[in-house]
Each structure stands twice: as C-alpha cells, then as structure tokens.
Structure 1
Amino acid sequence: MMDVPETSVHWRRLALLQDALATWRAQGRGMLLFGSSAEELRAGLGEDVRRILMDALPQILDSLYTEIGAIPELAPLVESHATVERLKRAQLAHWDAVFAGAFDARYAERARRVGETHYVAGVDPGAYLLGHNFVTSRLNVVLVKSLPPDRAAQAVQHLGKLATVDVCLALDAYWAAAGREFARIEGEMHRLALYDSLTRLANRRLFDDRLRQALRAADRGGHMVGVLRLDVDDFKSLNDGYGHQAGDLVLRLVGRRLSRHLRRVDTAARVGGDEFAIIVPGFARLEDFAEVARRILRVLGRPYRYRGRRIHGTVSVGCALYPRHGLTPESLLANADRALYRAKSRGRNRYEFYQGKARQTRLPSGWLSDFDRAFENRQLRFFYQPQVDLQSGRVRGFEALLRWQHPRLGLITPDRFLPVVERSALMHRLAAWSLERGCRMLARLRAETGFAGSIAVNLSQTQIRARELVEAVERALGDAGVPAERLELEMTEDVLIEQKDRQLLERLRHLRRLGVTIALDDFGTGYASLVHLSRLPVDCLKLDRSFVSDIAHGATARRIAQTVVRLGRHIHARVVAEGVETEEQAEMLRRMQCHLGQGYWFARPLPEEEVNDWLLARGERAEAPPELRLPASSPSLTASA
C-alpha cells in the first residue's frame, strides 16, 4: 500500500485503486480481480445488457454535465455547448468499450488521454472519481429496474468490476502525467534555485555555498582562494544606446565566455544586474591568480555582435584573496567590491587587488558562553512577519524570526550563530525557548486583539529529531493556554531526505495528532525528490523567495510557482509565497490561487512590541487560515460517492 497524506480520504481511495491496478498489471492474465479473471473481464457484459445501458447513458450524461456546471470550480470546463457535445460523444464511445470489456490498445490510448486531460485541466482526482461514480451508480439503477433480480445482481457485480478497471487505468494515466510533469518541474526548480536563468551561471545562492566549501577546503589543504567581483563598464549607456535586448545578449555572452575560459573547479556566478563574481580555488602563487584576472579582461574585452553591429564593451575587476584579504565569505566579497570600485575609479577596463588587511568579522572567541547567558539576559528576540491571504487581504498568521541582540555586536541574525549552536547542548534549550516564546505571544495576541490566526516557529532538523520535542510542544501549549492548531512548526525540506527515519515520521505524526501543523520552508530549493512529499504529514508549503523574485519576468519561475500551488491543492496543503516585494508579484500569485503571501510588500518583520499596533492600524482582526478542501460538490454528486 502506498503512503498517502493523512488529510485526504480521496487520496486514500486513490491509493487503493492504484495498488489494485499495479497488482493486476504485475500478475497478468491469470490474476483474479475481485474474483474475475482478465479473460472474464474482457468478455464484457451480454449484448442485451449493453444495449440497455447504452440506451440509458445519454440521459445520465446530460445529468452529469448539468451537475458539473453547478460546481463553480468545474463550471468553466463545460461552458461551451460544443465542448459538452464533444465530451458526450467521447463518453458514449468510451463506455461502450467498457461494457464490451474491450480493453485493447485503442481503449488504453483513450484512457491515457482522459487521465492526462484531467491532470492538465487541473481537475482534482476526487472530482473525477465522483463523476465516474455518478455514472456507474445510475447505470446500476437502470439494471435493477430493467432485469430480473438474479440477472440484475449479476450484471451490477460485473459492471462494477469493469468500471473499477476503467477508473484504475484513467487514474494511472493521471498519475503518470503528474509524475512526468513533477519530474520536469523538479529539474527546473533545481536550476532556478541554483542558476541564473539569463546567463545559466550559478546564482548568488549557489555561489555562497560554493564559496563556503572552498574556504573549508583551503583550511584543510593550506592553499589560497581567490574571489573576483566584476561588472560591465558603462552598462547603462549600452542598454540606452542599443536597447535592453542588446544588453541581455551581452550578459549572456559574458556568461558563455566565462564558462569557456575558466577551469572546471572555478565557479562563475551572476550576482546582480550586470554584476558577476568568480571563485578561483586551489592556487599557491599570487601571480597565478593575477593571470586569471588578466585573462578575463582579454576575453570579455572582445567585441560582441548584435544584429550585424559590433558592440565594444569592457569590464572592471576587483580581486580579494583568502586568507590575506578576508576570513569569511562576507568579508571577502566586501573587499573584492572595494577593489572593483578602485579599478573603476582608476580608469576602468583593469583589475585591482584589495589594498587593506583582513578584518576579523567572525563572532569573538567564547561567544557560545555569551549565547548561553543570552537566555537569562533576555537578549534573544522574535520579530514577527505577517502572512496575508492573497485573495481577501486579511492577515492569517505570523512567522517568528529569531534574532540575538548582542550587547556589543548588535543585532545578530541566526545564520551567524545557529550552525555552531546546533552542534551544542544549547540547541534543545533554544527549541524550548522558541516554542514557549511563540506560544506566549500567540496567547497575548488572542487576548489583546482577538487574533485567531497562527504563529509559525522555525525548528532545525536537529530540534525536530529530538526525543524531547513532543513534550516541549505540549508544555509550551499548556502553559500558554493556546489551541495546538494555532501553532505551526516550520522545517526545511531537508527533512524529506530523512523520511525513512521511522522515529522522525512518528514524531511528526504525533504532533499532527495533537493538532499542530507542519510547514516545509524554502520549498523547492533542496535536493529531496518531490515523490517523498506524499509520505510526510505536511500542511503548508512555503514557496522559496528565489522563485517569487523572478515570477514577474521569468516564464520558468511562473511555471514552477503554478506547479507548487497545484501540488499544494492536490495534497491539501496551504502554499505561502515568501519574499513578496512588489504589487506585481502579489497580483500574479493571487491569480494563480496561491493562498498566502509573506514579504516586505505587506510588512517588514515587526518587533514584538509593534505587532498589536500594526494589527489595529490595519483596522482588522487577524483570522484563522481557512479550511482547505477539494472543490465543493453538489449534493447529488456527493450522495452518489
């Protein structure tokens, strides 16, 4: 039996049908399907029974399409009279083959088209099942009214077997189409998350990851790492003079030339409009690094051709070395930037090395002891960023974002301290503090503003796997006196990789039984396969900001966002778009039927003391997330399921 989300009875029914089909295909002709051999099924119904059913079928189909037209989510599919008539003709031919047991190549092709059409049209499998059941239940009534009792019972039983095979094959085609689409989209999501869509170079996310790896390797191997920052000289004039298409062409050609003239171990990335960065690891002499910079100037200084015209362009390059010019990725990039501006100020079309010394930007020695004291000294803080319903504009919840207010270093973001804290005993104390603080804030908002939404607390994989987690959640909810369904636990999709860990899965399911909801953060940027998703009790998918940022101008990003929204509907999970910064992004997501948006377009992360005033200033009370269901069905459709 396949694992399916606990939230959907339709998915469990589909699982049963898919398993029956898989067994039927594996066992072949001799296998008994509900007591019948494949040969018996292919024999179909008797000629007289088939004639009775085919006479009754047109009226039944008329009723079916009338019912479909009454369902708002499905009505657009049957608005055209010509479309309805074409569907009826196809249905009559299809059912005639089913009654005859003609499961041949032509039937299989029709079943494939039915499944794929329903998937492409976005028709929920549950709705398809209801429609199929609508027809078969009324055909059964016809048989009971038209035949003697014994003959009617036999015909009803045999029709049920034929209809089961039919629906299995159609749903199998549906899931095959979905699997192909998700595999394609998974590849596109990976590329968009890690690569620039215009130049096909690495993007900033992948560049930062590669740079951290290069610095760790340099520490082990005792060699240097070079970082170059470069941009196209006077790129604005090029755009203004030749047009944006010419500008895009130059950027693509810069990416192509860099890819051709760098080593395989080097990483070139586009990190801004006309800004690029390069990692050059594993060299021992400064002159070797300088030669890389000179080669880049030569390669990128050659003219570009655009519509028969030669465009002359140059670049300026700034260089920084690890460990001489910086000890962290941030300091290296900042110092390479300083060297770049020095090259521009000295005439452009040249390279310059950073002239200063490395600055220690790491946290000071012994800072872990400072972090231990941060609990008692009340230096840990949550900032709360609203999650807004994209359809109604109402606030549905907040995400709690952790910060450390260090007395000397100021406000420190978690990316600077969590990697070390996570490997210490303080991680479980931090989890308990986060849960307690989030629940206490939830109770305060409910009491002071009537807040009925949720608060999401981020937990690391280490915290999620801790044996004490469930107890800590129960204690935080009980002490604050808030309902479990208003607490959401966010984790990155790396947890999908651990989906074979039975203890982890049981822990997540225990939390779900309490009522706590589970969200996957940064969805689409990890390395886990989408097929693992159905095995986890997930209530919310958070569409990563890297897809949202490109949604207005990138066709790939739009397709991926739409697919994630569709995937959310199929597994009955909310989809929250992160990093919404413009009205255009919000509007496109709204048209895609994305549920919630989060980002600076709605509000910056708010200090705890400002949340109440912000809610009151909007003139509203935050609301609970709406229930997510399959498209509503009319009473008669539901009754026949």
Structure 2
Amino acid sequence: MTRAPSLSVERYISSIARLYMNAAIVMTLLIGAGYVTVKVALDRHALQQSVSFATSSQFISFQQLANQTRALMRASGDRDLPDSLLQPMIKEIRRNIAHIRALGGELRQLNQALGDNALERLRPRDTEYERLREELNERLEDFLSRAERVTGTSSKERRLRYSFWGPIDFATSSDGALMQQFGDLISRVHDRSDISINNAATLYTLLALLLEATLLFASFFLFKPLLKKLKQEHGQSKEYEAQLAHQAHTDALTGLNNRAAFHEELEETLALLPANGGGFSLLLLDLDRFKDINDSYGHPAGDAVLCHVAKAIRGAVRAQDVAARLGGDEFAILVHGITDPVVLQGIAARILEGIRADVSVDGHLVHVSASIGGAIAPVHAASKQDLIRIADIALYASKGLRGKAVIFDEASWAERMKQNQLMLELVTAPERGEFVVHYQPKVDLVSGTPLGFEAVVRWQHPQRGLLPPIQFLPLVEGAGVMRQMTRAVIDATCKDIRKWKDARIAPGPVSINLPESLLVCDDGFQMFADAIQANGICWSDLTVEVTENVFFDQGSDRIYRSADRFREHGASVSLDDFGTGFASLLHLRDFPFDEMKIDRSFVSGIGHDPRSEQITRSMLDLSRSLGKNCVAEGVETEVQRTFLAAHGCSVAQGYLFAKPMPVNEATSYLETFITRVPLRREARR
C-alpha cells in the first residue's frame, strides 16, 4: 500500500493557495500582454512589408514603362513599319500606366493603415518619408501623363518628335530625379521595417523579463519550500514503490527473479527478436534428489540448499543474463546473445560445477547436484510455450544422466518421445507379465564360489526386446507401477528359489531391492510374507536391500521398524549403494542391518584413483568395526579383486565373475559349482 501525504504538506499547500492564484493571474496577464504586443508588432511588420513590396513593384513597373515608351518612339521613327504592329505596344504601355496608378492607390491605403498601428504611434512622425512619398507621386504622375500623351498621338507626330529629340526625352524624365527618389523611398521603407522589428523586440523583452521575475519570485518564495517538501515525500514514496516492485519481481528466499519476472523478460526478449536479429538461449535447472534433502532435514535445510544454488548461478552467469527461481527446486536462466550449442554447454557445465558441492546442514554435509536442459531461440523455437517445452525435453533427458547438462537436439526429442511411449507401455507391463528377473551371483572373492544372488529386474518388451533397468526404472515412479513391479520381482524370485530347492540346488540368500514407499508401510513386508507362504520357502532364503536414502525419509521410524520385522522373521537386511547417500555413523549404529554393499563408483576407481582406494579401505574397516558383512559391487578387473581381498573384503559381485542371467542360466551356473546333495527339510513359515 502507498503512503498518504503528510498532514504538514497539506497544510502548507492550503496556506499558499491564495498566493499561488495571485501569481497565476499576474503571469496570465503578462502572457496576454506579450501575446498582444507580438500580434501588433507582426501586424505592423506585415503592413511595412506590404508597403515595401508595393513600392518595389511600382519601381519595377516604372522602369518597364520607360523602356516600353522608348521602344514605341523608336518604332514610330521607322516609316516602313505599319501601324498594326505598333498597336500591341500601345496597349501594353496603357496597361502598365494603369497598373502603376493602382499601386499608388494601394500604397496610400497601406500608409494610412500603418499610421493607425499602435506601435507607429509610439515613435515620432516620419516627415521625411512623407515628403519623399508626396514628391515621388507628383513626379511619377507627370511621367505617366507624358507617357499617355505619347500613346495618344499619331505615328507621324511621334516620328517627327523622335527625329528631333531622339531618345533624350524619356531618358531625361525617367532616369534622373525620379529614379533617385524611388531609391531613397525604398531605403526609407527598409529602415522603417527595421525600426518596427526593434520596437517589438524591445517591448517583448521587457515583458519577458517581467514574466521571468514573477516566476523567480514565485519559485523562490512560494514553490521552493513546497517542492522541497514534495520532493522528500516523493522520494520516500518512490523508494517504497521500488521496494514493492522489487518484491513483486524477486524471489524472497534466493534474491533471484521470480516466475512472473522471468516470464515477462522471456516474452520481451522474444518480441525483440525480429528487430534485433541474433538470438538467445534458455536453460532450465532442476536439483537432483531435492525431495530427499527437504524431507530428511526439513525446510530450513532445503532453503539453505536453494540459496547455495542461487549463489552458484549468479557466480556462473554474466550481468546481462537473467536468472530466476520458478518455484520449488526449479530454476531458469536466460542467456542473452548465445546461440552456439557448444558455448551454451560450457555455460551450463560451469553452473553445474558451481552447484556441485557439499553443503553443511545441521552439522551434516549434504551433497548437492543438479541437471540442466537447454534450448536456443529462434533455432529451436520462437514462441514462449514452445521454447520452454523444448528446454524441458532436454531437462528430462539430462535427469536420466544425473548432474549433467543436455542442450536440445533431435536425439533429445527422439529420446523424449521414446520415453513417453515407454511410460504408456509401463502401465500395462505388469498385467502382461513382462517384468522378468535375472540373477547376478555374489561370490567368495578368493575362490569365486557363489554364495547367493541379487535379483535384478528386466523388462521383456514385446517390440524392443529385453530392456535393462536404466532404460525404464526412472519412469516407474511416474508411471505408478513400482508396487506391481516389486510384487512381480518378489513372486518370481520366490518361485525360482522353490524350483532350485526342488532340484536340490542351494542358491544361497537372494537379495531383492525394496523401495522406500513399500518400507514405510506394511505392504512390502506383506508381499514377502505372501510369496514365502505361497512357495514354501524360508525367510532366511531372502535378503532385503535398502538404500541409504531411507535414513532421511519422513517415515524413517517406520522404516526402522520394518527392517527389524524382516530380521525378526529370519531375513537379512542389506544396505545398498553405501557411500553415495546420507548415512552417518549414528545411523549405521542404530539401523538394523546385516550387510553393507560398497557402491561400484568407488570400486571402479581402484587401481588408478587413490581417493577411491582410501575410501574403500575405510568402508571395509568400518564394516569390521560394526560387525557387518561387506560386499563389493561392480568388480570387473583382477586388480580390483586383489586389492579388495588384500584389505579384508570376502564377498563381491561383478562382471569379473558373472553378469546378471536368467533363471535357467543361473541354474547351469550353480550346477558347475555345487554337487546335488539332499537338503534338510526347512521350517515353513
């Protein structure tokens, strides 16, 4: 809301109202007087100009008449020239005589009007001008009379006269005193015109000075204090309005532009494209696993992460670029003047590098990363909706890569269409029984003897063949089929364990990954219980794998109880992807689990990355200290195997030993290692 003017300003305005009106009246009168003065001066000047023009015209006509009369006299001196050729000359002379006399009448009227002008009365009467004018009129009339007599005589009389006097007659009468008087009169008229202009300028200058003095008086004594007050009030109002405008266009948490300001800037930039040419780029940014951070630590932690991201974005972009928080963990950047995909990729990588960090939250270090999708205008789109949609397609593609930037291209579009189609097909995949289970063995690191399996899901797509998890698991939550897929994996695994047992083959415990959504309620436990009961196997035949993210789920207490319940019934609990999540020593101390799995990202660095080797050694030491089993994932080389064995790791899985395989191949694999022996009858639970 805007502030009302102060009461002191209102009282001050009321107190000077009468003085202001008086000053306004004085200024109005002065302006009116100035207008009248200018009008009178312009009227007089116009009359003076008309007098000057008429005088000059009369002079020109006089010269023409003199020349015409001489020509007539010369022509009359030729005896052989017929009178019919002289008549047009005579008519032209008479017409010119009439014109000169008409100009004389016009001049008399103009001089009379000039004498009535107000400015003319302010100066003394110009007797010299009047004397010259009267004397000129008398001489001119005498000349016109003689010219009329020449035209009225016969050719014979003109011939006799011309033969005696020759051209001296009119030369004398026209080129003498009469010419001199015309020149004096024209000069006099010009001087009077200058005087008229000078008088008008002098009067108007005086009036302007009076008006200026009035304005200065009003400004200094009336308006200056008021303006000072108003300026102060206006400055405060402008500052308040600027604060409101800033708040309306700024995200309160991060200080970046908000969604409304971003869309306004985007629309303006697109509207200027046709005139400016060139182009710009749009980057959309989304944080990775932000929900886990927010749910685990609470909103203050999420706010700290968002502020860190905003700071990183500001540090990575230029001053002319526009960064905005669209809401939640979504950000957008308008990169002006950049249309090269390679350059844009570099900018996006710089932003991601600034964001990628460990942020301290309540004494814990939380790893922050983001994904970016980019689009270029007008290369990819020239409208706001299309540009955002295309950038979102690229962002979707980047989220499958985690912590990467993808600039839109045809491959991104094709991948998005492919993913959309897969999402639609995922909905009916459980009903068609298309989820199948493959088994990757866990082996003794020294002997290579299988000790158990991990059940991994595959999608037997009817057209695309067998799809690995990376191609469809990111879509499962969105498609709403995680529950059905997990049930299918549990049921298939329990059936295969039953078949192995019936064939008197001991596969060892089989691990099944159970998502958080099924751990926070009884559904996950019930799925295991139903499948165990239906197939007549033991709880100890199964291992439940959970990820470190469960430690920070809002339902972590229920997850703890679920893990305890599994262990109470005889199933073991394995902590998967250890080292990549949010586990602390406190969580490891309190969480009920039996086994920890070193993530393949650390194992892959063994042999060339001392940091990965040091972390792996620390994890092995930690597992021994906690009394837990330790499994190394992703073992692919003998160097990795040797290192792990040397540092006390006894169990591993990876391509060095075997890839995930369907149940029939897993059966053949087991048969190469173990001898069929009678198994004791297990208790059915």
Measured against the shorter chain, the TM-score band is 0.3 to 0.5
More helix by share: 2
Q: Which has the larger radius of gyration?
A: 2
Normalising by the residue count of structure 2, what TM-score does the alignment of the two structures yield? 0.42
Normalising by the residue count of structure 1, what TM-score does the alignment of the two structures yield? 0.44
